[in-house]
Amino acid sequence: MRNFHRVFGVIALFVLSAGAAQAADMKIITIRFGDIVQAAPLFKSGQTQFKTEFEKRKTDLETEARKLGDDAKKFQREGDVMSSDARAKTEKDLQTRKIDFEYKQRQLQEDAQKRERELYDKVMNSIKAVVIEVAKEQSADIVLQDPVYAAPGIDVTDQVIKRLQAASPAK
């Protein structure tokens, strides 16, 4: 929605300041950004790469969480019959494992967010470059993203998708 307001504001300012005659000569093209992202090979390969990169760590953490939970329940059941030394040692061990687990969990989240940003930036830069290339070839003055309506002749989404797919090494 924010993009809509920004684009609408830019268009309104441009049309008001440029005058009606100049605006009539302006060439506008549009793109459906969501369609481009979903069809971009770099996006698809990035998703696969992200999943393989973090799936094992996530699974290992889930296994560790179950084991820690099982051991904590066991301690609650059996803690009263343990010697004070064994109880203290087990409590300390559980607390240490819990802290370690929480650290690993935070680290996974931070690593995943960092990697997601890197992949996102890579995909966005690739898409942006192709959109600019198509816009220049068509001598467009402005590119609008996700308009409510666009005549088929000014929507270049399919051209951008074809270029992205053609540029993909793993075609």
pLDDT digits (tens, 9 = 90+) for 104-151: 999 999 999 999 999 999 999 999 999 999 999 999 999 999 999 888
Residue 150 DSSP SS3: coil
- Residue 135 C-beta-side C-alpha neighbours within 13 Å: 18
| Residues 157/34, Cβ–Cβ less than 8 Å | no
Cα dihedral 76, 77, 78, 80, rounded to 10, equals 70
Per-residue model confidence (pLDDT) at position 6: 60
pTM across the whole model = 0.66
Residue with tokens 């300012």: 13
Per-residue model confidence (pLDDT) at position 171: 43
Class of 2-167 per CATH?
A: alpha beta
Per-residue model confidence (pLDDT) at position 127: 93
Q: Which residue numbers in the chain have pLDDT < 50?
A: 13, 16, 21, 171
Per-residue model confidence (pLDDT) at position 21: 46
What is the total residue count of the chain?
171
Beta-carbon contacts of residue 66 (< 8 Å; ≥ 6 apart): none
Per-residue model confidence (pLDDT) at position 17: 53
Per-residue model confidence (pLDDT) at position 15: 53
